[in-house]
Structure 1
Amino acid sequence: MTDQDNFGIASCLARTLSVELVNVEGRRAPRANPDAVDLSMRGWSVLNGGPSQDNVKRSVAVFEDALRIDPDNGQVSVGLPQALTLIHRNRWDPEPARILARADEAVTRAISLSPNYAHTHYVKAEILGLSRRFEAALATYDRAIALDPNHAAAYVGRGRNLIAIGRARIPSRRWRRRSDSARVIPTCSSGTTSCAT
């Protein structure tokens, strides 16, 4: 195994641990005066609880509360557009164009606050794909992957967009790394990010 493979595995484990810590923190008893980070963790915990309509809409409300407290926190800002994207994708609102525009506005702001946070670029790419702007989506997925080569959902989204435009057969060594002893391929499971080897 190479050092790069070890780094990739360590990065994936750190992300998995981070998701679990957010879930534990989000389930903790609510504080009397939660700050934006507390609310953001609660929103992610609700969103990570499963992509049901109730969970997603509750997470939107919690993320909105967090943004009212701290509108300039990039990590807090990405939760709202992620949840809105799920509402659009699942057709849980009678005005899908309005929801997608709102998600795009929110993620554009999140990117301006945290331009090197891979997940914001992933969410932007999802919105571009849902808007049928596939080439722009592919470039944005590439940006997310460049920032975090282990962002499994970005690989999945990129593949979905390649399928949508009929280019799924174009192979790329960049998306699959091999070494003598291991093969690391990011995968996505149940709407969360996980790695498989």
Structure 2
Amino acid sequence: TKTDALEPRRVAALPLAIISSDQQDEYFADGLTEEIINTLSSIPGLKVIARTSVMKYKEASKSVGEIGRELKVGTILEGSVRKAGGRLRITIQLIDVGSESPIWSQKYDRELEDVFKIQTDIAERVAEALKVQLLTENRTLIQQKAPEDIGAYVLYLRGRYHWSRRNKEDLEKAIAYFGEAIEKDPNYALAHAGMADCYTLMGRHLYLPAKEAFSKARDFANRALELNNDLAEAHTSLAAVLLIYDWEWDEAEDQFKRAIQLNPNYATAHYWHSVLLQTTGRLQESVTAAEKAQVLDPLSPVIGMGVVQAYFFSGQYDKAVEECYRYLDMNPSFVVARDFLVHLHVQNGLFEEAAEEAKRLLDVSERKSEAMAHLAYVYAASGKTEEAKKLFEASVADAEFGYSNPTIFIIVCSILGDLDNAYRWAEKARESGRIALHSLRFSPDLQRFRTDPRYNLLLAKAHLQ
């Protein structure tokens, strides 16, 4: 309803515009936007939209009213930043979405070193305007995040700018910038947390061997927490390693709960927590956690697919289909949404639609062998066994080496009744750190897989028995 949409304490901090002849300063504006979002997120009583969703409005020509309605927020913070040498000029205003009129505005013309005082001041003014309390501990959290060397902060912002792009080349640049920040200020906890996040992604995308990537991620996350135990980001980084690689489910849960307690608006923590809840079999709780993440980051495709996955494993197929189409409206060549639709159509008995979707997946996906295996899956599930086998053999010939997502191969083998090969793929996935335990436990495609005695052995190895 309209009143829900315009809840004043639901806030979006839009990307700060950069007013500078030097476009090199873009990282600074983006990084400062993220820091302001993180600062506001720690204020109890505010619901703050996450970075991924607001960054979609960078240089957008939409009105505050349009953006407010799309993000379902009642209040928007917007402004600009100009960085010249050691000086910083920030203009900021808080706007009521309903009337599109400013509630509060301020200009800051300060030294670069004062950037943390500016962040605290903005947080205080926003809290005051929206009649919520900025607690003493929130002020302390902001001050604790500040490094001793302002140069380290600038390097950290550069690192986060590249990290958010998430490809191999940018992750390597991010590691270099976070490394320089740590050299300048070895006690800068956020830079260690940034390193942990980089190595976690390097491991997940197989840019580095899983063992090497995740052990580095663990070391950096632990170091960040030794330096500042009140960093939600670092607790989440450590929890991700415990979840994805170490399979220490109880420890991971403790870390997620601590992160969410420190920053209830941290969408990434809610998202990963939902994956943990799926893996450990608490499917309805996982839906709640995934939906919480989506409320905080409504335009993030990763989080959107987390919601789809939670619905899929808990048998809520219609809701999952609806979400897939919503994200495909935003990006028609979004591979993961197409992938899920193939499985959802099969579960709903719509084999023709599933085959069409698999063919579209083959068009848009860079990973042709995986896409081809999806078509084989549709044929296998609809009883076209011979066609399925032929296609599957062709896809396996392509996929044998360096393959990054073995789940579809496990599924096809399982449906075709070739459980020896299904378990061979599962073992390879386990060794490479790419096993999707939640899929193996709860995917409706893997019922036959779960009837084999080897299934319980696999769960025991993953500390799930």
TM range (shorter): 0.7 to 0.9
The 4+ residue runs of structure 1 with deviation greater than 6 A are 26-29, 171-177
In the TM superposition, what is the alpha-carbon distance from 1:53 to its structure 2 partner? 1.1
Quote the Cα distance in structure 2 between the aligned partners of 1:145 and 1:23.
30
In the TM superposition, what is the alpha-carbon distance from 1:164 to its structure 2 partner? 1.5
Counterpart of 2:253?
A: 138
Higher RCO (CA-CA < 8 Å; seq separation 6+):
1
Taking structure 2 as the reference length, the TM-score comes to 0.33
Q: Judge conservation of contact 1:87–1:99 (CA < 8 Å) in 2.
A: yes
In the TM superposition, 1:165-180 aligns within 5 A as: 165-170=280-285
Question: Does residue 186 of the first structure (1) align with residue 302 of the second (2)?
Answer: no
In the TM superposition, what is the alpha-carbon distance from 1:17 to its structure 2 partner? 5.1
Distance 1:132-1:26 versus aligned 2 partners, 3 A rule? farther
Deviations 1:8-40 (A, max 9, x none): x24xx35x658x9x96417899x8xx8211111
In the TM superposition, 1:85-164 aligns within 5 A as: 85-94=200-209, 96-130=210-244, 131-164=246-279
Distance 1:174-1:102 versus aligned 2 partners, 3 A rule? closer
Q: How many residues align?
A: 173
Q: Judge conservation of contact 1:26–1:44 (CA < 8 Å) in 2.
A: no
Q: Judge conservation of contact 1:26–1:45 (CA < 8 Å) in 2.
A: no
Counterpart of 2:28?
A: 25
Quote the Cα distance in structure 2 between the aligned partners of 1:77 and 1:36.
12
Q: Judge conservation of contact 1:81–1:107 (CA < 8 Å) in 2.
A: yes
Out of 111-120 and 165-174, give the one that drifted further: 165-174
Q: Any gaps of 5 or more consecutive residues in structure 2? A: 19-24, 31-81, 86-149, 304-465
Percent of residue pairs identical: 21
Q: Judge conservation of contact 2:274–2:289 (CA < 8 Å) in 1.
A: no
Quote the Cα distance in structure 2 between the aligned partners of 1:118 and 1:98.
24
Distance 1:157-1:26 versus aligned 2 partners, 3 A rule? same
Counterpart of 2:197?
A: 82
Quote the Cα distance in structure 1 between the aligned partners of 2:290 and 2:163.
28
* Aligned partner of residue 169 in structure 1, secondary structure: helix
Could you tell me which amino acid in structure 2 is paired with residue 40 of structure 1? Y
Quote the Cα distance in structure 1 between the aligned partners of 2:278 and 2:295.
19
Counterpart of 2:156?
A: 40
Q: Judge conservation of contact 1:23–1:44 (CA < 8 Å) in 2.
A: no
Quote the Cα distance in structure 2 between the aligned partners of 1:152 and 1:191.
11
In the TM superposition, 1:56-71 aligns within 5 A as: 56-71=171-186
RMSD of equivalent CA atoms: 3.3
Larger-Rg structure: 2
Could you tell me which amino acid in structure 1 is paired with residue 186 of structure 2? P
* Aligned partner of residue 276 in structure 2, secondary structure: helix
In the TM superposition, what is the alpha-carbon distance from 1:60 to its structure 2 partner? 0.9
Quote the Cα distance in structure 2 between the aligned partners of 1:38 and 1:166.
43
Quote the Cα distance in structure 2 between the aligned partners of 1:83 and 1:120.
12
Deviations 1:85-112 (A, max 9, x none): 0001111113x21221111111111112
Q: Judge conservation of contact 1:67–1:76 (CA < 8 Å) in 2.
A: yes
Q: Judge conservation of contact 1:25–1:41 (CA < 8 Å) in 2.
A: yes
Quote the Cα distance in structure 1 between the aligned partners of 2:220 and 2:274.
24
* Aligned partner of residue 230 in structure 2, secondary structure: coil
In the TM superposition, what is the alpha-carbon distance from 1:62 to its structure 2 partner? 1.4
* Aligned partner of residue 92 in structure 1, secondary structure: coil
Quote the Cα distance in structure 1 between the aligned partners of 2:234 and 2:155.
18
Q: Judge conservation of contact 1:81–1:102 (CA < 8 Å) in 2.
A: yes
Quote the Cα distance in structure 1 between the aligned partners of 2:180 and 2:302.
24
Q: Any gaps of 5 or more consecutive residues in structure 1? A: 178-183, 193-197
In the TM superposition, what is the alpha-carbon distance from 1:191 to its structure 2 partner? 5.8
In the TM superposition, what is the alpha-carbon distance from 1:58 to its structure 2 partner? 1.5
